[in-house]
Chains A and B, each alone.
Chain A
């Protein structure tokens, strides 16, 4: 059993597994529920429970519902271990390949997570349990499927209790999905800006047109907004219990919400970079780039590969099929949504973020949710078809792009695109040559490369305007 000193309460940033770490650190994102907190013990993920948390766990662990949900991959596995001093109980969970946040998910990911939340609540109620909150932060994605990870959210259902997480479900699942499906506005910037999601009053203002009169909108948006305003500060929980509230009322609500969520659909068509795969240079160079990547993977032997600007995930999939955990990162929701729907069974994580402004560390004390780059900790980085976008579209100086790539501290596979390339002409648009940064020509770029990397191998592509580099950090 670890010493009390090891179970320090000092909070630190999330970090890669490290069996040599001598300090057990609370997960900075797990502190709101006093009954259950996650700590990181080197490579182990441990949940510490107080008396009430232990009571909830025991109620859950004894049900067929728990066993079937775990075996179906809908609920994270948990094994009871000896608790450290100061805790009534402790559970150990398997480590997840990547923690991602709802503002980094595509539409289908949030929708699948919402349906999982409702299915688990229904299953829990039928087993005499409830789920005390309803936040998508309790759900993660493993091999293209949502998995509920917060075992501490389950507790025995107390007769007469309403669904405490209903409001949170609407704010963090339902309204963001409505915003995308009905209004056509992406929910991710809002969820990134306000971690609590949209309030009913905000959603009521956002919804326009005929959708305002949809029965789901009238109930969950407009009526909830109205009742929130009217009932503010007036406790009703005990009154509902005394008045005879039953779990059947929650189940009826869950069924209606499931039908509503299922009916929400986002038709993204061929937006943004959805057609990228049909570009001449992509189809022409794809085989050569795949072969070059396989060679780099063979040389490095990575456990984790970060694919920056992953687009349709072709190269992430190569890494996953080679046995690595691939993280496919892109800013185009449509292509990533398609990739997510094809990723079942693959060790591939989809992350939606703009590399010109990647997800930052934020939340309580600026640490509750960590930045995406901190969470990735790759062994190999792929930067195919990326850096010319950063240089020409985002106006990042080539030296700064290379300094940033060097910051990963890992080998990098880079595709250099010369100013003569057809795609660069499109990206430059109306910018004049003197308005662009230096270091764009191949000779200049090679000189910059030498400041940060050693070239292990290189290959000129058929177009003659693109060169692949397999690089080791200096």
Chain B
């Protein structure tokens, strides 16, 4: 069972794996595939347009 009183933020949790280097990118890729299926791309419904850079690429885990 997982406990936690603090909201860690899903994006922030996933980012930790990406920061961890090559092994972490693999973990993030696997986690995203488990969450969203083979294509692994997050649906854009939650995008609020907060930051307007090309960082989408870091979220794209297509193989």
Chain A interface (Cβ < 8 Å from any Cβ of B):
32-35, 52, 132-133, 158, 161-168, 170, 200-201, 204, 218-219, 222-240, 242-246, 248-250, 252-253, 256
Chain A, interface SS category:
helix
Q: How far is the CA of A50 from the CA of B44 in the complex (A)?
A: 41
Closest to B53 in A: A222
Q: Could you tell me how many residues of chain B have their Cβ less than 8 Å away from some Cβ of chain A? A: 44
List of B residues within 8 angstroms of A253 by Cβ: 16, 19-20
Closest to A134 in B: B6
List of A residues within 8 angstroms of B21 by Cβ: 249, 252
**Given A223-B15, A227-B59; A232-B10 close (CB under 8 Å):** yes
CB distance A229 to B48 under 8 Å?
A: yes
CB distance A245 to B10 under 8 Å?
A: no
List of B residues within 8 angstroms of A252 by Cβ: 19-21, 24
Chain B, interface SS category:
helix
Q: How far is the CA of A425 from the CA of B19 in the complex (A)?
A: 57
List of B residues within 8 angstroms of A238 by Cβ: 2
CB distance A249 to B20 under 8 Å?
A: yes
Choose from A204, A218, A245 the contact partner of B17 (Cβ within 8 Å): A245
List of A residues within 8 angstroms of B32 by Cβ: 239
B47 to chain A, nearest CB (A): 6
CB distance A249 to B16 under 8 Å?
A: yes
**Contact mask for chain B residues 6-30; partner A; CB cutoff 8 A; 1 contact, 0 none:** 1111111111111111011011111
**Contact mask for chain B residues 38-63; partner A; CB cutoff 8 A; 1 contact, 0 none:** 00001010111111010110110000
CB distance B8 to A164 under 8 Å?
A: yes
9 cross-chain CB contacts under 8 A: A35-B5, A164-B13, A170-B12, A227-B15, A229-B49, A236-B10, A243-B29, A250-B16, A252-B24
Q: How far is the CA of A242 from the CA of B33 in the complex (A)?
A: 11
B8 to chain A, nearest CB (A): 4
List of B residues within 8 angstroms of A158 by Cβ: 2
Q: How far is the CA of A250 from the CA of B27 in the complex (A)?
A: 13
A188 to chain B, nearest CB (A): 23
Q: How far is the CA of A161 from the CA of B3 in the complex (A)?
A: 11
A227 to chain B, nearest CB (A): 3
List of A residues within 8 angstroms of B17 by Cβ: 162, 240, 243, 245, 249
CB distance B20 to A243 under 8 Å?
A: no
Q: How far is the CA of A224 from the CA of B11 in the complex (A)?
A: 7
